[in-house]
Amino acid sequence: MERKEVVKMEEGMGSSPFLDYISSSYQGAFDLTEGEKSGSLGFMELLGFQEFSPVFDVGQVASTATTSALSPAGGKIESPEVLNQPATPNSSSISSESCEGVNDEPVKVEDQEEDQHKTKKQLKPKKTNQKRQREPRFAFMTKSEVDHLEDGYRWRKYGQKAVKNSPFPRSYYRCTTASCNVKKRVERSFSDPSIVVTTYEGQHTHPSPIMPRPSFCGGAQLMTSAAGAAATFGMPMQGTTPPYHLHPFLINNLSPLNLPQNGSSFLHERRFCTPAPASALLKDHGLLQDIIPSNMMKEE
């Protein structure tokens, strides 16, 4: 499972957290005006909806914050997660992926939810046939002073843990919407505290409760195509249609082809309203920790 991969990653990278590596490696890329955006901009703004744009360009527009998509490649067998799968409705592709093939049956949001409930009630009954189902994940690196960026959704913090090899704790958030079990993790880069890594997990089953301001990136057309992906990763999308699932675009562009061989992940730095290479969108293979820096460098 992923967890394992994560651990491996860390170990493989020695004692230095991958985040540390990433941040240092991309330090140059993160050239935004320090802190200005902190707290004042919403996550969507930070992203400028560009995630959903067909094209991304690294570094062009000066923005208040720099956001990068991380593609935990996890490289391991089981992980051809979400994005490298053919575009399929969340119920099938995403879920199945998140399940890592554990459950071949398409898992619907409701099912997952139900599952979760069970789990919650009695912390135990989850072992039998259900391995922890993994949701599709998508991570972003954002240079920000604030840990919890506004993304249009309401999140409730349900935990915080110290991260090994990092002085910064990792915070766990869950979408407050009853029927939505999207989660996200927020942590800071070890070496560069100004960088916040946000990992979304799961798919929103509802529209954003907090409509973000219209994208100043002229994302009207982007919205439609990106809607699914946005919703999937907790990014609010206005006008998003009910099946809040991963969008084909994301999937296609995040295919393994974009990944360094051996399944390592890579990361691209993106900026506000900046068109970036399609490769900027990443395939989510797991936790941020799954990201293997060595290859990222090559990507650049």
Partner DNA sequence: CGAATTTGACCTGCGC
Partner DNA sequence: GCGCAGGTCAAATTCG
Instruction: Kindly list the residues in this chain that would bind DNA in the complex (CB under 7 A).
Output: 1, 3-4, 6-8, 10-11, 116, 119-124, 126-127, 131-132, 148, 154-164, 170-172, 174, 176, 183, 185, 287
The nearest distance, CB 197 to DNA, in angstroms, is 11
Using DSSP, state whether 217 is helix, strand or coil. Answer: coil
The nearest distance, CB 63 to DNA, in angstroms, is 25
Please give the single-letter amino acid code of residue 172: Y
Beta carbon nearer to DNA, 17 or 228: 17
Q: Order the strands of the 66-71 sheet from edge to edge.
A: 155-162, 169-175, 183-188, 195-201, 137-143, 66-71, 266-271
Q: Residue 269 and residue 272: Cα distance in Å, rounded?
A: 10
The nearest distance, CB 254 to DNA, in angstroms, is 20
Beta carbon nearer to DNA, 148 or 206: 148
The nearest distance, CB 41 to DNA, in angstroms, is 18
Query: DSSP readout, 84-149?
Result: GSPP--IIIIIHHHHTTTS--SPPPHHHHHHHHHHHHHTSSS--SS-PPPPPPEEEEEEE-S-SS-
Beta carbon nearer to DNA, 39 or 218: 39
The nearest distance, CB 265 to DNA, in angstroms, is 15
Beta carbon nearer to DNA, 50 or 98: 98
Whether the CB-CB separation of 161 and 217 falls below 8 Å is answered with no
Beta carbon nearer to DNA, 35 or 169: 169
Structure tokens at 198: 């946000």
Please give the single-letter amino acid code of residue 205: T
The nearest distance, CB 33 to DNA, in angstroms, is 27
Please give the single-letter amino acid code of residue 18: F
Please tell me what DSSP assigns to residue 281.
S
Backbone angles phi, psi at 77, to 5 degrees: -30, -65
Beta carbon nearer to DNA, 161 or 213: 161
